[in-house]
Amino acid sequence: MAGFVVKKLFQGFVSLHILHHAGEGPVFGSWLIEELAEHGYKLSPGTLYPILHHLEAVGLLEQYEETVTGKVRKYYKTTDLGRAELAEAKRYLAELTDEIDGGRDQAKGGTRS
């Protein structure tokens, strides 16, 4: 991963991906690693799992276990709190992207006309 700012944002971006996908249906670690790799995030389990555990600890994700072909697999789902957090982050992201791209007319209301 690139420079200072990107590094700072990395965990946040990854967290938002997780909240998004785990909000659409239960997800598990190795699936997330593949999904995130498609977006250019190269994550090892050693990086992903602490993020998952942290999101769970603060109540944004909930976890349950299921045995799949004899192996216990941990699934994660986004909680209501997690959904609220994602929605809030989306507003900030949309506004920021909008400002950086200079496309403010597409923003809420489009105050210039």
Q: Which residues bind Zn ion (CB under 5 A)?
A: 17
Nearer to Zn ion among residue 17 and residue 73 (C-beta): 17
At its nearest, how many Å lie between Zn ion and the CB of residue 17? 4
Nearer to Zn ion among residue 30 and residue 99 (C-beta): 30
Residue 85 CB neighbour total at 10 angstroms: 19
Nearer to Zn ion among residue 34 and residue 66 (C-beta): 34
For CA atoms 103, 11, 81, 62, give the dihedral sign.
positive
At its nearest, how many Å lie between Zn ion and the CB of residue 110? 29
The single-letter code of the amino acid at 108 is K
CA–CA distance from 17 to each of 23, 64, 74, 92 (Å)?
A: 10, 19, 18, 15
Nearer to Zn ion among residue 20 and residue 73 (C-beta): 20
Who contacts 62 (Cβ-Cβ below 8 Å, separation ≥6)?
Answer: 56, 76, 77, 79
Residue nearest to Zn ion (CB): 17
At its nearest, how many Å lie between Zn ion and the CB of residue 19? 10
**H or E element in which residue 69 lies:** none
At its nearest, how many Å lie between Zn ion and the CB of residue 67? 27
